[in-house]
Each structure stands twice: as C-alpha cells, then as structure tokens.
Amino acid sequence: MLFTPWRNEQTDLIKNSSSFQEHYIARHDEINEQMRQYEVCSEDLNEIQHSLQQHDDDLYDTIAPVTQDTERQDENEGNTDTHPDLNESYDLSEDLGIPSTLPRNEPLILNEMQDADKPFYAFLSGSGGVGKSHLIKSIYQAALKYYNTQAGEDFRRAHVLLLAPTGKAAYLIKGNTIHSALAVPASQSLKNYKPLDSGRLNTLRCELGALKLILLDEISMVGNSMFTIQLNNRLNDLKGSKEDFGCVSIITIGDLFQLKPVMDGYIFNDVQSLSSYNTLAPNLWKRYFRMFELDEIMRQRESKEFAEILNRLREGKHTSSDLQKLKERCVEESSCPKEAPRLFIQNAFVDDHNEKVYESFSGDKYVINAQDSVIGACSVELKEKIMRQIPYVSLRNSKQLARKLKLAVGQRTEMAVDVRTDDGLTNGASNIIKLIQLIDESKPSGLVWVQFDHEDVGIKTRQENRTLYSRGIESMWTPIKPVTTQFAVGRTKSAQVVRKQFPLRPASAKTVHISQGDTQSQIVVNLNTNRAIPHIHYVALSRVTTIEGLYITDLCEDKISVDQRVVKEMEMFGTEHSLKLCFTPLYMLDHSDLKVCYLNTRSLHKHIEDVRKDINYSSTDILIFTETRFSSLNPNEMYNIDGYSLFRNDISQYSGPGRPYGGTAVYSRIPLQEGYPYAHNLNGIEVNY
C-alpha cells in the first residue's frame, strides 16, 4: 500500500474493510496506475535480483565441488532427525510401509507405487478411533519420500496431495480442502461441472502439474457428485488427460458407516442428474476402488467393552445387553457436567440450550447485529424490499454468518466458517471467549479474543497480530475479526447481499452432524428424534474416548438405524473388492518356519521403540540389525527386546563427536551354539560370525 496516502494503518489503511487484502482489492486499479507511474524500473530490478540469486546458487558449488560428505554432516546429529525432508517425527516403519503405532494391524504395503505408469486406487476403512488420521500422515511421508527420490522428478514440485472435504478435517491432517486445492467453487451445484478459464487452469497446472497421488480423508463426507463429477473432471483438466482421474492415483480413508453427505448422495451410488454427461457417467468408485479394513481401535483402547459396543452399534449388530450398558449412562440434565459439550439431533434443542447458557452469564454480554448491504439492485425501492427479506434467510443460505450474534465473555463458541485453513481457523474450531473489544456496539467492529481448545490452532494469526497484544491480553488468546460474505436473496437470486459479521457461533451445544470428526473426553448426548436417521447414534456416541465420559439424557434406542445400502456396499468390499496384501507378513507365516530378518536400521539407537512395537519383528526367530550406532557406554538394558537374547558388535574405536557409525546387533529367540555369534573386526571392517 506504498502507492496510496495514509497516516495510520488501522484507520486510514484498512478503513471500513475487514482486512488489508479486502482494502487492496477495492483500490486495485488505482494502485496499479500509481505503480506504472512511479515504479518505472521494476522489471529491470526484478531481472537483476533474479540474476543475483542465480549467481549466489552457483557460488555454493565452489565450496564443496564434486561431492558432499554425508557422514560428516551427521557427525553432530545427536538426536536430530537425519531426514528432515520427511518430518520431525520420522518413523522407521514408514520405510517398511508398516505403521508402527498400530502394532496389531496388518501392514498395508502400497507396492503399486512402484509402477509409475499405472495409477492405483484404494479405500482404507475402519471404525472410529482406529487411527485413520495417523495412518494417512504416515502414508503421506512414505509416498513423499518415494516420489521425491525418483530419477527425473523435481522434488520441489508437489507429487502428493493431502485432501479432505471440510476445513476442520483438512487441518487435522495438515492438508487442504478439495474446494481450495482444486479450485472447486463452493457456491455452484456439484452436479454440473464448470471448467476453469485458461488463466486459472494454467496457474493450477503450475502448482499441481506433477501430481501423482491424492490421499483423501473423511471419504464418507464426499458425495458421488463431488467425487465423480467435480474431482474426476478437474483432475482430467489438470493433467490434460481423458483417462479417469487424469491417471492420478487416489487413496481414500474413512468409514462409510457415518452420516450421509450433505446435499449429495453416497459415494458408491450412481450419479443422478438430468444432464446428458452425468447420465452416462460410470460409477468410478465401484470400478476402481478396493478396500483394506483397519480393525485395531486406538481411541477407546482404555475402554475395551465400550469399543466393542460401538463396533456392533456401527453395523447394526448391537445386542440387548449393549443397550442395557448404554442405558446405565442415562442421567438427568442437572446431573451432567456443566462444562461438557452437548450434542443434539435437532437444531431447536441446540438453539434452546445455547440461549440458556448465554443468559446464565452475568459478565460482559453483547448482541451483535450483522451489517448487511445490497448490491445489484437498480432502485431504492428494490433495495428496501430485499432488506425486508433478509431476516427470513436461513443461516445455511447466508453462508453461516448469523444475522444476530449473542456473545459473552466465558462462553464456548466455535468458528462458523473457514477463515484460514492453514492455521486451523476452520469451521468447527472450538474455543472460549476471553475478551470482547467492540469499537461500535451497534455493528460488528473491533475484536473478539478467544482461546482455542488446541494450542496449535491460531499460531500464525497470533504471530501476525502481535502488535495488537496489550496489557491484560494473554499470549494464547487469538484475535477474531469480522469477515464478509455474499449471498443471493429473492426468487431470481439476481440481487446479492454482502454481510459483515464475526465468524463465530455459540457451541455449548451443537448438532451431531457438526460434531463429526470431534474427539472429546466428556460429552452429554440427547438423541431425541421423530424419525430414524441412519448411523446418527453411532456417530454421536463414538465422539467420546471412554464410556466413563459419556452422559446420555435421551437414548431414543427405538430410532437406532443403519442404512442397508451401506451394509451391502461394505459386504461387497469385504468379499469381491477387498485389497489384498502384496506379500505375506512375517507374523502370518507358519510357526514351524525359521524366520530370520535383516535390516540396515540407520541408527537402531534412534528407532529401537519402533522395532519393539512392530509385530513383524516380534514374530521372527532371529533379528539382525546393522548400522546400529550403539555406544559401548550404553548398557544392554537400553536395547533389550522381550523374549530375545542380545549380541552386540559396537564400534569401540571411535573418538569423534556424537554417536559412532556402524555396529551390528543380533537378537535371537532360539538357543545358539556356544561361542556364537562372535565378532572379529579388522582395520575398521566389521566381521561377525
């Protein structure tokens, strides 16, 4: 904004806009004109800067020509990750394709990645709490390492994409939403595909032209129109291909025993549309995808009985004793923890509870009316007519920004819209209001300070707004500013309303639909409903980690329902479309076989816990590990594995900093001949017998 006159950033530079970016867009043409007049040498300066950068890169080559000594770079590594390109929590099991934190799950080896010319498609399923979100991160790291080390591939380009249907789900896996990553407009009908114009398509190709694999989480929330029409066609345009999904491989993760996608059909249903293309569209889900089911529950691991009840309830196989166990958790509302979130099926109950909570606060309370303005109306009379219609526009049709927002200090709220996905400010992010600073109480202005339930949510926003923190404002509070959205009003939808409001909504209570993806230590559930809604009991009850944290005010057990279409689809996946392992895991081999495992561990000292947790290793008779990097100062107790005897051949003659290189370790379940194994090292060469 150097090309516009201003004195004060907060008053002159931002003015009536909700952000600097919005103010910049409004004055874009004026700024460009000023830039053309005064920045006459910008192109020359950019070229000079680019040239300097090129020369700087070349100068580094003269420091260590021909080779770079990898071992010398690792001399001072200590506990530092030797593979920072993957993640600071790098896990040895990812190299093997086996998620170590799911010790009793069958490993999923995606050997299809080895055939780069042939795309592959998989569906990883499992009930709530089996660690699907953790697994998708592990697969992402393994795939990233594989694709980035292929000859001829530019590691700076995106080869793997983490996607989810909602901002909240995307943030949990540190990914992007389908809409934002693939430029799918949120306002258009999913049943009609609209190609991007050439400019936006070229931009997308520059960003994702090298895409090889998509990991798509929460697949139950993705409908058939989004999947078959929007995702498929966008990938075709992106890759310039007529093949399905543009020959991009896709791994989907989720549980189909969830609520039906909003405003769309189940992903396994045929697309229903009047357009000629969609009528002929094949069912790509049934054509390509094969399922691998995860069965080890992690979320409820401290409540085994509760986990088994949820599994049976999920598939509609619950027993009378299961219902009796759940009824034991039925209590009166007055006996429930006051701070525990409430879940209801009906919006009326949600609104009523949130209103009672708001009225119970005795401190600072505000009723903030949205600031609405009409654009596109030709006359004053028409504008007034449209303004009279606004109070009747539903919250869904107004893009989730409330016309009248009631806020109080100490109140539990959540984000109502996706403000910043990369920072966790997504629809459903829970928080507590700590301070309300309104410039003008008659309209949304100023700031609302909140503290999010998870500390990592809002980190970037807090850093970028650190100048706003004054005395009395704690460092973990995040400033929330008003945002604007635009929605259509009237029968013809020709007039548009621009609404400005804080992107918050009361969340002491919420609907079960909105709670999908949540994990709570305590919840109060009211499942009162007039009609059976498939899977809603399972979704609601599985939000809590233990049965001790579950409080039920109305179980409404006669309305428990499972969609038989989902049951049939999962049965078909389990038989005809199951994903077979590409090899036989060690623990599935015959017990009479002698099983010997050898692995270059690249520091067993660092990865000993991964090895201990892996069921494949614990199923072998003899384990041989090289490059252990054990120190002779470390006792055997640090590296023992239950049931095995340990032989070590450490590199004792090492005087450099950090840990010694090399080393061998042999673990054996079976008795070995006396005197074996033994070591005879010569001239720095390890020899083991």
Instruction: List pLDDT tens digits, range 447-489.
Output: 999 999 989 999 999 999 999 998 889 999 999 999 999 888 8
142: left (phi over 0), alpha (psi -120 to 50) or beta: alpha
Least confident of 74-83, 284-293, 608-617: 74-83
Alpha helices in 564-618 (DSSP H): 564-575, 604-613, 615-618
List the structure tokens of 493: 């939808």
Separation of alpha carbons 353 and 344, rounded Å:
10
Give me the residues paired with residue 381 across strands: none
Give residue 585's pLDDT band: very low, low, confident or very high (50, 70, 90). Answer: confident
78: left (phi over 0), alpha (psi -120 to 50) or beta: left
What is the reported pLDDT for 252?
Answer: 94
Residue ranges of domains in the chain? 9-50, 111-294, 586-668
Separation of alpha carbons 405 and 358, rounded Å:
11
Separation of alpha carbons 629 and 598, rounded Å:
16
Least confident of 282-296, 542-556, 646-660: 646-660
Average the pLDDT over 2-27 and give the result: 70
Q: What residues contact residue 131 under an 8 Å CB cut-off, 6+ apart?
A: 99, 101, 102, 294, 296, 298
Exposure of 143 by Cβ count < 10 A (0-12 exposed, 13-18 middle, 19+ buried)? buried
Separation of alpha carbons 102 and 397, rounded Å:
43
What is the reported pLDDT for 158?
Answer: 87
Least confident of 147-151, 458-462, 554-558, 614-618: 147-151
3-state secondary structure of 126: coil
Separation of alpha carbons 291 and 113, rounded Å:
17
Alpha helices in 219-346 (DSSP H): 224, 232-239, 276-280, 284-288, 304-314, 320-327
Separation of alpha carbons 370 and 401, rounded Å:
8
Which CATH architecture fits 111-294?
3-Layer(aba) Sandwich (3.40)
Choose from 370-384, 469-483, 585-599 the range with maximum mean pLDDT.
469-483
Separation of alpha carbons 253 and 266, rounded Å:
15
Separation of alpha carbons 152 and 539, rounded Å:
46
Q: Are 299 and 128 in contact (CB under 8 A)?
A: yes
What is the reported pLDDT for 96?
Answer: 37
Angle CA 230–201–273, to nearest 5: 20
Q: Are 349 and 531 in contact (CB under 8 A)?
A: no
- In angstroms, what is the C-alpha Rg of the chain? 29
Tell me which of 226 and 381 has the higher pLDDT. 226
State the DSSP code for 118: S
Separation of alpha carbons 190 and 237, rounded Å:
17
Percent of the chain with pLDDT over 90: 39
Separation of alpha carbons 174 and 180, rounded Å:
14
Choose from 90-94, 247-251, 298-302 the range with maximum mean pLDDT.
247-251
Containing 599, the helix (H) or strand (E) segment is: strand 596-600
Q: What residues contact residue 467 under an 8 Å CB cut-off, 6+ apart?
A: none
Looking at residue 86, its amino acid is: L
Q: Are 441 and 527 in contact (CB under 8 A)?
A: no
Strand order in the sheet with 664-668: 596-600, 622-626, 664-668, 645-649
Give residue 64's pLDDT band: very low, low, confident or very high (50, 70, 90). Answer: very low
Give residue 646's pLDDT band: very low, low, confident or very high (50, 70, 90). Answer: very high
| Main-chain dihedrals φ then ψ at residue 617, nearest 5 degrees | -70, -40
What is the reported pLDDT for 1?
Answer: 57
Tell me which of 492 and 105 has the higher pLDDT. 492
Residue 421 reports pLDDT greater than 50:
yes
Looking at residue 356, its amino acid is: K
Residue that has been written with the tokens 């032209």 in this structure:
209
Q: What residues contact residue 623 under an 8 Å CB cut-off, 6+ apart?
A: 597, 599, 611, 617, 641, 644, 665, 666, 667, 668
Give me the residues paired with residue 435 across strands: 449
Angle CA 29–30–33, to nearest 5: 85
Average the pLDDT over 19-46 and give the result: 69
String of b and e for 243-253 (b: at least 16 CB within 10 Å)?
Answer: ebbbbbbbbbb
